[in-house]
């Protein structure tokens, strides 16, 4: 998160608007490279560097998409939601949220199909429904991924770098959804004032 914050800060200071596509491709490339690098003691430093680069470029790309006055509100809201759902998963009975995996993936598939359909219909209602349902689904993924990581660790999977990627992606997606909802609400308030 500190490296991602550094990426956001670099964007704010330099106003590097052209970084959108480049940072997206760079973060995707680093993620693929990280997946291809095996987990071992010898590759740990290399994988940590790839993780840092991925976080930096992801935050840079996110700031290109969304930078305005609601950023602190969205970040604090995301941090609170993420913390609450993570603590809930940590203190819940072991494996009690693992059943959510199939439901969440089905919901993601339906959201993808409705988003593709909305390209043709252009319905603002469907777009808003997708945002709010997506926020709920991502909260479910925080529960699921946290318990899945605990279960994997207890079964011998000690790849904490990849576990970091799972939780980081949950956080970023939550942040993106919340930022879009807040931006949409702010836009509606400005319309009402006029």
38: helix, strand or coil: coil
pLDDT band with cut points at 50, 70 and 90 for residue 78: very high
Query: Comparing 26 with 132, which gets the higher pLDDT?
Result: 132
**Above 70 in pLDDT, residue 168?**
yes
pTM across the whole model: 0.82
pLDDT at 85: 94
What CA–CA distance (Å, rounded) separates 71 from 65? Answer: 11
pLDDT at 106: 96
CA diameter of the chain = 61
Produce one character per residue of 86-103: b if its CB has 16 or more CB atoms within 10 Å, e if not: bebbeeeeeeebeebeee
pLDDT at 113: 94
pLDDT band with cut points at 50, 70 and 90 for residue 63: low
92-115 pLDDT, tens per residue? 988 889 999 999 999 999 999 999
**Above 80 in pLDDT, residue 20?**
no
CA-angle at 21, arms to 105 and 164, nearest 5°: 45
114 burial class (0-12, 13-18, 19+ CB within 10 angstroms)? middle
134-155 pLDDT, tens per residue? 999 999 999 999 999 999 999 9
Domain residue ranges in the chain: 1-65, 69-194
């Amino acid at each position: 998160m500190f490296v991602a914050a550094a990426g956001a800060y670099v964007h704010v200071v330099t106003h590097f608007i052209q970084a959108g596509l480049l940072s997206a491709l760079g973060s995707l490339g680093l993620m693929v490279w990280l997946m291809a690098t095996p987990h071992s003691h010898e590759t740990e430093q290399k994988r940590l560097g790839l993780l840092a680069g991925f976080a930096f470029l992801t935050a840079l790309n996110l700031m290109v998409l969304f930078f305005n006055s609601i950023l602190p509100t969205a970040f604090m809201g995301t941090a609170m939601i993420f913390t609450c759902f993570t603590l809930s998963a940590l203190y819940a009975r072991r494996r009690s949220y693992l059943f959510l995996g199939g439901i969440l993936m089905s919901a993601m598939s339906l959201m993808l199909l409705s988003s593709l359909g909305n390209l043709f219909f252009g319905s603002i209602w469907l777009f808003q429904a997708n945002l709010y349902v997506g926020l709920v689904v991502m909260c479910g993924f925080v529960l699921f991924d946290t318990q899945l990581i605990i279960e994997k660790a207890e079964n011998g999977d000690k790849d904490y770098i990849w576990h970091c990627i799972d939780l980081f992606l949950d956080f970023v997606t939550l942040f993106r959804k919340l930022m879009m909802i807040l931006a949409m609400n702010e836009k509606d308030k400005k319309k009402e004032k006029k």
